[in-house]
Amino acid sequence: MIEFMDSCRAITDETGLRDMLGQMTRELGFNQYALLHHVDLVRPPAHSITLLGYEDSWMERILRYRYFHDDPILAASNRRLTGFGWREVPDIIRLSRRQRRILHEARAHGLRDGFTVPLQLAGEYRGTCSFASDHPIELTADLIGSAQLVGTFCFEVARRITNQGGASTSQIPVLTQRQLDCLVFVGSGKTNWEIGKILGVSEDTIHKHVSSAMRKYDVGKRTLLVVRALFDGQLSYRDMLRMH
């Protein structure tokens, strides 16, 4: 695993990541993988992660019938912070008839058992790294820990690769602490007057702070400003919910 982690630092393109993920999938005892953001796989957004090592026949069905919209594995991952075996899925979510059909059909394409690592970062699409097998897998503590590590590291490499050419950390606008304080309240639905009363300053002062932050982000709406700040990690959902 130390060798694997060192190798991840040297990966610079998708081909290298696919090779590494395929190798680690086999070493873990699985034979198929899927590292992806939970997006429309027919028309994936720019910079989204969609590395799929499933059989071509199964990929065709996923895209043709848009199974990714109702994928029970992805649905279960939204309820977990740590990895889980696929046999646990009926205990995590209530399966619909369509989801049961998806699981049944997947077995004919080598997806009989598996392990999925939920991968979530505030402001970004939900993601998962799944390892699949055509035979039952004994999920030992060592295997669970190793799969969790491989999935997390490969996802971080994928984020680095897909964001190349996009906005870097150095390009994120620098907001003052007072601007961030105002945005927390903006995100929780407060008006400038209400924010001014809470912070002990005038409504005009709040307007200036928020307007300055909007100029830095080059946006014309307060809601878009909050979304952008959340995406960049300058705000947290927890802070805004606490203000309600």
Give the integer Cα–Cα distance in Å for 226 and 118: 25
Averaged confidence pLDDT in the chain: 91
Q: How confident is the model at residue 130, as a pLDDT?
A: 98
Contact 1, 104 (CB under 8 A): no
pTM of the model: 0.73
Residues 15-53 have pLDDT tens digits of 999 999 999 999 999 999 999 999 999 999 888 999 999
Query: What pLDDT is stored for residue 205 in this prediction?
Result: 96
The token pair at 177 is: 């602490």
Question: Highest-confidence range of 73-82, 115-124, 164-173, by mean pLDDT?
Answer: 73-82
Long-range pairs, 238-244, Cβ under 8 A, ≥24: 239/184, 240/184, 240/187, 240/188, 241/188, 243/184, 243/185, 243/188, 243/190, 244/188, 244/189
Residue 182: pLDDT band (50, 70, 90) is very high
Residue 166: the pLDDT is: 47
Q: In this predicted structure, what is the pLDDT of residue 122?
A: 67
Average pLDDT estimate for 146-174: 80
